[in-house]
């Protein structure tokens, strides 16, 4: 039987899931490959904010965060 996750493990799983959803939505919205969407996401300030947990941003909805990225970090999109 697996041991229950501690808070840090659960937080890491939640962030990973959020990042996956953001990348998928970016690829869909921008009509680009997942690889290109990953590049956009990991160059963004948003990825740093999610990684550090700035202002609890990692708990927001992926669709909202994608809209925010597209509006505020347009320079990342070629």
Cβ-based neighbours of 24, under 8 Å, separated by 6 or more: 34, 37
Query: Which run of H or of E encompasses 77?
Result: none
pLDDT digits (tens, 9 = 90+) for 37-75: 999 999 999 999 999 998 999 999 999 999 999 999 999
Query: What confidence category does residue 78 fall into, taking pLDDT thresholds of 50, 70 and 90?
Result: low
Which pLDDT belongs to residue 2? Answer: 73
Query: Which run of H or of E encompasses 46?
Result: helix 45-52
Distance CA 53, CA 15 (A): 9
Q: 19: which DSSP letter?
A: H
pLDDT digits (tens, 9 = 90+) for 19-36: 999 999 999 999 999 999
Give the chain's length: 78
For the entire predicted model, the pTM comes to 0.90
């Amino acid at each position: 039987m697996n041991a229950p996750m501690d808070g840090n493990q659960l937080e890491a799983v939640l962030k990973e899931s959020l990042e996956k959803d953001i990348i998928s939505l970016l690829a869909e919205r921008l009509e680009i490959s997942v690889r290109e969407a990953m590049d956009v996401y990991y160059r963004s300030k948003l990825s740093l904010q999610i990684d550090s947990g700035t202002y609890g941003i990692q708990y927001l909805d992926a669709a909202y965060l994608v809209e925010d990225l597209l509006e505020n970090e347009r320079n990342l999109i070629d």
